[in-house]
């Protein structure tokens, strides 16, 4: 079982240090500390274990060190920044694992960009040596890239020429869409195993600047000092940065403790999230419990409560549960989402969050909830929401319903079955396509999204159905049968076809760099990872590092 819970004192591959408003995130991969057997992590190459630490570090910077305004990502290895994902690890991994690994590393890169975009922190990739493949993809997720000019160091995406696969972490898309490199140059760069060094890399827009070895550190320091002392347009939105600079003591972060999980054969229980496995039927019930009554409503109290505050803890637990399901339960194809608790309590929490969104901690909490919901959107499993009495699909938890492929709401006039919206449904949790889930739902009739907001109070089943908020509303007599048959039907379908179908239907409307990376690149990567030219006995990935050469079937498809 792969554990996604970690903390800096357990890091093997990264060092995270802080000095006032500057965080230093330094890669120093220990080649024998691998997640599986059969490969060594040479030259700062990485496996999932390395990336779990990175994801944790970024999360901790946001919650534990809100005073940080610049993050320098660099390496402790001489002349090498990072050699990318470990090829032997990829070569010995199953298709499922490879795809999940790429998805998680993509999400970590997107989390860097999310921090930069929404929390105003600036990420600098200080490439003290060569950055190849995933190493360059990590750099390109940062805001600025600086490469040492030592006559040797280069940036490269050697996947196509060396391995017969694509850069797996959004590299091609970020090349032309984020850095907007000219496509013919991107073509040359992506087929050049050795990559490009300082001068030409800068000319082509692959890096922002290059400095000689002797001037490298001081140039990075200068740039960091510039960032820390400047006040960008964006920063003006963030009161705390200003406070910090004006001599008022820096904000105190809150500590993220490891989540407590109890597992048995068929269960996995966190404080607010439970999984109940029906593995013979290939589905799982995911139960999310709403907040208790009377949670604090001031930011001081919430700061004191720290990571035990429901929105933060419950969504961290949901995040961990989703990652567990992806990586450790590949045969579970369907997640039935159920909620338990009081709608009033959820709405009360949402009110607190909405009222205090200017506070740094509340902002980080809401952004984290949004990221977890996007992780759900991007999970290759079917989701059904099941709405019964005593459930609390309200406000932020109503997003779970909207994120589901379908929803079933019990229609029983003798019981209270309700859902409700809150202010947070109007924009706090954007999907990867930039729209709210309600906007995505009502592309044909945008008016319906406004009507749902304008609705007074809760929706009972018939109101929810009339408003287009649920898919089906079976009555009491049919309920058990309908749910059972729906589950059976869903889990009988081809899991591959469902993955492709869901990825196509979930993201209607506009596209963003994120949806391109997940929807397009992932799909191509999935395909190429299956092809004999990559993974067959004569494939390039299989033959990497061996004396034998790859033999291709040259038919173009």
Candidates 76, 188, 225, 477; binder of a copy of itself (CB under 8 A) is 188
**Residue nearer to a copy of itself on the CB measure, 57 or 380:** 380
Q: Which residues, 323 to 352, sit near a copy of itself by CB under 8 A?
A: 330-333
Q: Is 548 in the site for a copy of itself (CB under 8 A)?
A: no
CA distance 379 to 327: 10
Q: Is 441 in the site for a copy of itself (CB under 8 A)?
A: yes
State the minimum distance, in angstroms, from the CB of residue 14 to a copy of itself.
29
Q: Is residue 206 helix, strand or coil?
A: coil
Alpha helices per DSSP H over 404-521: 437-441, 446-454, 461-466, 476-492, 495-505, 513-515
Q: Is 186 in the site for a copy of itself (CB under 8 A)?
A: yes
Q: Which residues, 362 to 381, sit near a copy of itself by CB under 8 A?
A: 380-381
Q: Is 177 in the site for a copy of itself (CB under 8 A)?
A: yes
**Residue nearer to a copy of itself on the CB measure, 293 or 443:** 443
State the minimum distance, in angstroms, from the CB of residue 353 to a copy of itself.
26
**Residue nearer to a copy of itself on the CB measure, 204 or 216:** 204
Q: Which residues, 51 to 90, sit near a copy of itself by CB under 8 A?
A: none
The radius of gyration of the chain from alpha carbons, rounded to an integer in Å, stands at: 24
Q: Which residues, 267 to 326, sit near a copy of itself by CB under 8 A?
A: 282
* 222 Cβ contact partners less than 8 Å away, ≥ 6 residues apart: none
Q: Is 199 in the site for a copy of itself (CB under 8 A)?
A: no
**Residue nearer to a copy of itself on the CB measure, 353 or 550:** 550
Residue with the two structure tokens 């009554």: 293
Q: Contact 32/71 with Cβ under 8 angstroms?
A: no
Q: Return contacts of 472-480, CB within 8 angstroms, 24+ apart.
A: 472/406, 472/407, 472/408, 472/409, 473/408, 473/409, 473/410, 473/411, 474/408, 474/410, 474/411, 475/410, 475/411, 475/412, 476/410, 476/411, 476/412, 476/414, 479/410, 479/412
Residue with the two structure tokens 């000219």: 182
Please give the size of the binding site for a copy of itself, defined by CB under 8 A. Answer: 91
- Residue 381 phi, psi (nearest 5): -140, 155
The 382-387 sheet, strands edge to edge: 262-263, 267-269, 273-278, 283-289, 334-340, 382-387, 406-409
Q: Is 168 in the site for a copy of itself (CB under 8 A)?
A: no
Tally of CB atoms within 10 A around 548: 10
Candidates 158, 164, 198, 341; binder of a copy of itself (CB under 8 A) is 164
Q: Contact 415/389 with Cβ under 8 angstroms?
A: yes
State the minimum distance, in angstroms, from the CB of residue 438 to a copy of itself.
11
Question: What are the DSSP calls for 325-357, one per residue?
Answer: HHHH-TT--EEEEEEES-HHHHHHHHHHHHHTT
Q: Is 1 in the site for a copy of itself (CB under 8 A)?
A: no
**Residue nearer to a copy of itself on the CB measure, 153 or 407:** 407
Q: Is 502 in the site for a copy of itself (CB under 8 A)?
A: yes
**Token pair recorded at residue 484:** 């059972």
Residues in the chain: 557
**Residue nearer to a copy of itself on the CB measure, 127 or 541:** 541
**Token pair recorded at residue 75:** 């390496």
* 152 Cβ contact partners less than 8 Å away, ≥ 6 residues apart: 79, 129, 130, 197
Q: Is 223 in the site for a copy of itself (CB under 8 A)?
A: no
Q: Is 503 in the site for a copy of itself (CB under 8 A)?
A: yes
State the minimum distance, in angstroms, from the CB of residue 480 to a copy of itself.
19
Q: Contact 519/505 with Cβ under 8 angstroms?
A: no
Q: Is 410 in the site for a copy of itself (CB under 8 A)?
A: no
CA distances 147 to 79, 206, 541, Å, are 11, 10, 28
Report the sign of the C-alpha dihedral through residues 197, 203, 209, 213, in that order: positive
Q: Is 520 in the site for a copy of itself (CB under 8 A)?
A: yes
Tally of CB atoms within 10 A around 249: 8
From the list 125-133, 358-366, 392-400, 502-510, the region that binds a copy of itself by CB under 8 A is: 502-510
State the minimum distance, in angstroms, from the CB of residue 192 to a copy of itself.
9
Q: In the beta sheet, which residues pair with residue 339? A: 288
Residue with the two structure tokens 């599986």: 36
Interface map 143-162 toward a copy of itself (x if CB under 8 A): ----------------xxx-
From the list 144-152, 250-258, 474-482, 509-517, the region that binds a copy of itself by CB under 8 A is: 509-517
State the minimum distance, in angstroms, from the CB of residue 99 to a copy of itself.
5
Candidates 55, 165, 287, 464; binder of a copy of itself (CB under 8 A) is 165
From the list 248-256, 364-372, 416-424, 508-516, the region that binds a copy of itself by CB under 8 A is: 508-516
**Token pair recorded at residue 478:** 């049919």
**Residue nearer to a copy of itself on the CB measure, 359 or 439:** 439
Q: Is 543 in the site for a copy of itself (CB under 8 A)?
A: no
Q: Is 494 in the site for a copy of itself (CB under 8 A)?
A: yes
Q: Are strands 22-27 and 45-46 parallel, antiparallel or unpaired?
A: unpaired
Q: In the beta sheet, which residues pair with residue 154? A: 197
Interface map 450-469 toward a copy of itself (x if CB under 8 A): ------------------x-
Candidates 406, 423, 455, 538; binder of a copy of itself (CB under 8 A) is 406
Q: Is 508 in the site for a copy of itself (CB under 8 A)?
A: yes
CA distance 373 to 84: 28
DSSP state of 258: P
Q: Is 191 in the site for a copy of itself (CB under 8 A)?
A: yes
**Token pair recorded at residue 160:** 């196509």
Q: Contact 391/417 with Cβ under 8 angstroms?
A: yes
Q: Is 434 in the site for a copy of itself (CB under 8 A)?
A: no
**Residue nearer to a copy of itself on the CB measure, 170 or 341:** 170
CA distance 280 to 274: 18
Interface map 99-128 toward a copy of itself (x if CB under 8 A): xx----------------------------
Q: Is 488 in the site for a copy of itself (CB under 8 A)?
A: no
């Amino acid at each position: 079982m792969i554990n996604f819970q970690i903390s800096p004192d357990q890091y093997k591959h990264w060092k995270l240090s802080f000095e006032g408003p500057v965080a230093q995130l330094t890669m120093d991969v220990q080649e024998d500390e691998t997640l599986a057997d059969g490969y060594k992590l040479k030259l700062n190459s990485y496996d999932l274990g390395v990336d779990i630490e990175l994801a944790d570090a970024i999360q901790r910077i946001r919650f534990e060190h809100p005073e940080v305004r610049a993050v320098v990502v660099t390496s402790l290895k001489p002349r090498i920044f990072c050699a990318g994902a470990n090829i032997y690890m990829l070569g010995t991994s199953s298709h499922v694992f490879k795809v999940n690994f790429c998805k998680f590393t993509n999400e970590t890169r997107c989390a860097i960009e999310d921090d930069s975009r929404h929390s105003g922190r600036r990420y600098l990739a200080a490439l003290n040596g060569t950055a190849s493949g995933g190493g360059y993809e990590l750099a390109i997720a940062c805001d600025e890239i600086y490469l040492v000019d030592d006559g040797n160091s280069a940036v490269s995406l050697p996947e196509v020429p060396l391995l017969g696969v694509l850069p797996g972490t959004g590299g091609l898309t970020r090349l032309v869409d984020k850095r907007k490199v000219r496509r013919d140059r991107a073509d040359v760069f992506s087929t050049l195993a050795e990559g490009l060094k300082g001068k030409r890399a800068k000319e082509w827009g692959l890096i922002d600047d290059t400095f000689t070895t002797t001037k490298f550190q001081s140039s990075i320091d200068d740039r960091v000092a510039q960032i820390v002392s400047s006040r960008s347009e964006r920063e003006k939105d963030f009161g705390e940065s200003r406070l910090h600079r004006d001599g008022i003591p820096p904000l105190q972060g809150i500590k993220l403790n490891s989540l407590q999980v109890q597992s048995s054969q068929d269960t996995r229980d966190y404080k607010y999230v439970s999984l109940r496995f029906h593995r013979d039927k290939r589905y799982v019930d995911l139960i999310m419990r709403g907040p208790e009554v009377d949670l604090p409503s001031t930011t001081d109290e919430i700061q004191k409560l720290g990571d035990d505050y429901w929105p933060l803890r419950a969504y961290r637990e949901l995040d961990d549960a989703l990652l567990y399901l992806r990586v450790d339960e590949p045969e579970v194809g369907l997640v039935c989402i159920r909620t338990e608790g009081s709608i009033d309590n959820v709405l009360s929490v949402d009110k607190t969050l909405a009222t205090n969104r200017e506070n740094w901690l509340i902002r980080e909490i809401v952004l984290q909830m949004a990221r977890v919901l996007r992780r759900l959107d991007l999970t290759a499993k079917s989701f059904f929401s099941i709405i019964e009495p005593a459930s609390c699909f309200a406000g932020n938890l109503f997003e779970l319903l909207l994120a589901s492929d379908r929803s079933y709401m019990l229609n029983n006039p003798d019981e209270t079955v309700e859902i409700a919206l809150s202010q947070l449904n109007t924009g706090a949790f954007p999907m990867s396509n930039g729209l709210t889930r309600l906007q995505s739902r009502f592309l044909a009739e945008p008016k319906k999204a406004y009507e749902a907001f304008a609705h007074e109070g809760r929706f009972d089943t018939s109101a929810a159905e009339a408003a287009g908020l649920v898919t089906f509303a079976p009555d009491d007599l049919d309920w058990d049968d309908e749910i059972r048959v729906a589950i059976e039907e869903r889990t009988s379908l081809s899991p591959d076809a469902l993955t492709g179908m869901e990825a196509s239907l979930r993201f209607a409307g506009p596209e963003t760099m994120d949806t391109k990376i997940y929807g397009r690149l992932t799909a191509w990567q999935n395909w190429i990872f299956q092809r004999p030219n990559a993974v067959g006995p004569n494939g390039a990935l299989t033959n990497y590092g061996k004396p034998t050469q790859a033999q291709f079937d040259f038919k173009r498809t």
